Structure 1
Amino acid sequence: MPAEATSVPAPEQEEDQAVLALRLAGPLQSWGDRSAFNRRDSRPQPTKSGVVGLLAAAAGYPREADITDLVGLRLGVRVDQPGTLLRDYHTVSDYRGRPLPQAGVNAKGIQKPTSPAKDTHVTHRYYLQDAVFVAAVQGPITLVTTLAEAIRRPAFPLALGRRSCVPTQPIVLGAVRDANLEAVLAEEPWQAGEAAKNAYRRRYQRGPEPFSPHRIDLAATFDDPSGEDTLQDVPRSFAPRERGFSTRRIRHAWLNVPTGLPPSPAQAADTAQPAAVAGGHDPFALLGW
């Protein structure tokens, strides 16, 4: 008798990938990847730890939760409006008039007093004001779709790097897409504010210079294992006692993005003219073509 055939399970197939595009805009943003006791810096664009933190807050992850699935998402960030750097100057003192304690503690775990006594501590905190970014994450379609719904109905308040930096709406740009990360960031229309768009309009309305109102070049960065640059902003955990960061490689690029702006009156008139008139000479005019 021939041996009974056994069924071999098919190898598990990798889940289809999808991309979620997010508009990160607000009066203030702060994307720190390092800090000191009296200084809180901000990078010029969103960090991976900041974007992962926003997604984790939306999905209701506790601080001690495993964030491996979120860290595994591929990130791309486009700079639609770089904004300007704002320094917030702080002074800290004890309301009771006592000298401030230092960071060190004694054998009982109580902070030691400053020596010599220090009554005022100065801190500097940096923010980006009036900045707009488009961040896109790519990963398994089930996870990305879940995150899109979570951002629309977040479990915890969302922030642009720090709790005090509240995002404006909308955050989610359209539906989840099955295109790749670069294509989504190249096709998503320009998200800058009206002031930036008006300044761009004035540039192409000045005259006949070769300047297209329909497209604009924007800087972008992408997660890329063969990228030419590195950033130390990948979170290991958000648990207070287990916080730490690892590095990722990134690639810098320029994307030619649709602006969504109408042409100037002069350019619209030029476009309406036949090619012969615009060029000043039509070799087929005598033939009546």
Structure 2
Amino acid sequence: MSVLALQLAGPLQSWGASARFARRSTENAPTKSGVVGLLAAALGLDRDDDTRLAELAALRFGVRIDQPGTRIRDFQTARHFDTGEAMPLSERYYLADAVFVAAVEGPAPLVDRLHAALRAPAYLPYLGRRSCPPSRPVDLGVHHDADLETVLAAEPWRAADWHQKRRRHQERIDLTVHLEPAADPGGSTGRNPDAARGDTLRDQPLSYDPRHRRYALRTVRTATVTVPNPHARPREAATVPAHDPTGHLEGA
């Protein structure tokens, strides 16, 4: 298997797994449906191309939270294009100043094709919503003969410099990782026995067709990886004072 790593950083991001009427929430980390949608856009897939979407949805997905950011709320007003009537006020949530490392694992030919598309996308990538462009290059490269866990653990800490310097007293940083269970080719079900363990999230894309968007549940396992802090300051060794104020007592 091969792994394609992505850097998702921007002033604003929004990764919604559910929407209720005029309220548009965001998850704390990028969703699989959002990242697969980004890759599908890079390939130039049509929204109603469910057959090719299924190939991308079968990729194993993981994401690492390098900088959690701050959740903010916004309000949006709009008017109907044809009638000019005011639409209901909508409430929208975003993650500000967040940084994530996402990765997809799959067959090498598909991963290489996605990598090439990401470097010359048919449609520009955005971070969950069109109003959220990335502030850094998304492409972090392809790792052949690798797995999701290894890549997410080995990737350097991608948080902003100011965020890293705030934690300069820590030489190593613990980061949260959300992973799909690994496949088990030797099993009768083709999935890892631990696949049922973990949280569930309805962000497995089945169709992006505006007429009938559909998403299924998938299992998400949470783990922790430790990475070095490039801005860590080494601790100073304790020094012995040149003058010992109790030295004269030893001879008394």
Tell me the distance in 2 between the aligned counterparts of 1:96 and 1:155: 30
Match of 1:216 in 2: 173
1:188 touches 1:258 (CA, 8 Å); kept in 2?
Answer: no
By how many angstroms is 1:238 displaced?
1.0
Give, in angstroms, the shift of residue 198 of structure 1. Answer: 1.4
2:198 maps to which of 203, 228, 245: 228
Determine the C-alpha separation between the residues in 1 that align with 2:142 and 2:91: 39
> How far apart are 1:92 and its partner, in Å?
4.0
Asked if 2 retains the 8 angstrom alpha-carbon contact of 1:74 and 1:138, the reply is: yes
1:72-111 superposed matches below 5 A: 72-92=58-78, 100=85
Q: Distance in 2 between matches of 1:154 and 1:92?
A: 30
Shift of 1:94: 6.8
CA RMSD of aligned residues (A): 2.3
When residues 120 and 177 of structure 1 are mapped into structure 2, their CA distance, relative to the original with a 3 A threshold, is closer
Aligned to 1:28: 12
Task: Output aligned runs, 1:7-46, within 5 Å.
Answer: 17-46=1-30
Tell me, yes or no, if the aligned pair for 1:29 and 1:131 is still in contact at 8 Å. yes
Q: CA deviation at 1:95?
A: 9.7
Residues 4, 143 of structure 2: 8 Å contact kept: yes
Q: 1:1-289, aligned counterparts within 5 Å?
A: 17-65=1-49, 66=51, 67-92=53-78, 100=85, 121-201=88-168, 204=169, 212-213=170-171, 215-224=172-181, 225-264=195-234, 267=235, 270=237
Cα displacement (A) at 1:59: 1.0
CA shift for structure 1 position 185: 0.5
Give the aligned partner of residue 282 of structure 1.
none
Q: Distance in 2 between matches of 1:34 and 1:26?
A: 22
SS at match of 1:233: strand
Q: Contact 1:233 / 1:245 at 8 angstroms: preserved in 2?
A: yes
Aligned length: 225
Distance 1:142 1:88 in 2: 41
Q: Structure 1 length normalisation: TM-score?
A: 0.72
Structure 1, unaligned runs of 5 or more: 1-16, 101-118, 205-211, 278-289
Q: Secondary structure at the match of 2:124?
A: coil
Name the CA shift for 1:235/1:95 in 2 (closer, same or farther; >3 Å). Answer: closer
Using the TM superposition, name which of 89-98 and 159-168 deviates more: 89-98
Counterparts of 1:138 and 1:93, CA distance in 2: 42
Structure 1 counterpart of 2:62, one-letter code: G
Which SS does the other structure have where 1:53 is aligned? helix
Offset from partner CA, 1:240-264 (integer Å, 9 cap, x none)? 1131110001111111122233533
Give the structure with higher Rg (CA).
Answer: 1
Distance, in Å, in 2 between the alignment partners of 1:250 and 1:193 is 26
How far apart, CA to CA, are the structure 1 residues paired with 2:28 and 2:82? 39
2: CA distance, partners of 1:270 / 1:173: 38
